[in-house]
Amino acid sequence: MALGTKNKQGFLTGDVAMPSLTSPKLQQWQRSDHMVRCWLLNSISQELKENFVSCKSAKHLWTDLCERYGKSNAPLLFQLKKELRNISQGNDSVVEYFTKLKRYWDDIDELEVIPQCDCGAMNACTCNLYKQMLDMSSREKVLNFLMGLSDVYEHPRSNILAMDPIPPLNKVYSIVQ
């Protein structure tokens, strides 16, 4: 979105090509290309950033990112889920802990979209399959949140797990808070 507002998407697509080395527009192009590369690099997690610093242009950087994560997001999805598995509250407040989890969940949800029905059969569905799938995802997040809570929260955790059905994530967060 930032690139769109600054009219810099062409640096990624190659539509704004590098001028010849003798062109008076070269310096301006280089300055804009450096800026776009900085924006892209600043949007990449610290652990991954050093893999891309040496790219020669925004176009090359974008191409590398698309090749690694564009078609198959398995490496990124693997990394996010692995990191998510190790998150616990520790010395963080409940707010800080929940915010960390939420960031990972949002990134994972963007990569693992629940499939939509294209044939129209879901419109006639009476079993609420899609809602059940969303509920499963929410329940998984609730359990993940509760597992990482400090032992200080054992009582509310036990109370929440005794509820049938388990409340939605935001409700659980509110109870723990």
- Report the alpha-carbon angle 81-83-86, nearest 5: 110
What was the pLDDT predicted at 146? Answer: 97
Count CA atoms within 13 Å of residue 45 on its CB side.
9
Per-residue pLDDT band at 153 (split at 50, 70, 90): very high
- Residue listed under structure tokens 């800080």: 96
What was the pLDDT predicted at 49? Answer: 86
Q: Are 74 and 83 in contact (CB under 8 A)?
A: no
What was the pLDDT predicted at 149? Answer: 97
- pLDDT of 73 strictly over 80: no
Average pLDDT of the residues in 22-30: 95
Q: Residue 22: how many CB atoms within 10 A of its CB?
A: 6
What is the C-alpha to C-alpha distance for residues 175 and 22, in angstroms, rounded to an integer?
A: 66
Question: What sign does the CA torsion over 53, 58, 60, 62 have?
Answer: positive
Per-residue pLDDT band at 129 (split at 50, 70, 90): confident
Amino acid letter for position 71 = K
Q: Where are the domains of the chain?
A: 2-70, 74-176
- pLDDT of 21 strictly over 70: yes
- pLDDT of 133 strictly over 90: no
Average pLDDT, the chain: 90
Average pLDDT of the residues in 99-122: 85
**% of the chain at pLDDT higher than 70:** 98
What are the pLDDT digits (tens) for 116-128? 777 877 777 888 8
Q: Give the N- to C-terminal CA distance of the chain in Å, as an integer.
A: 34
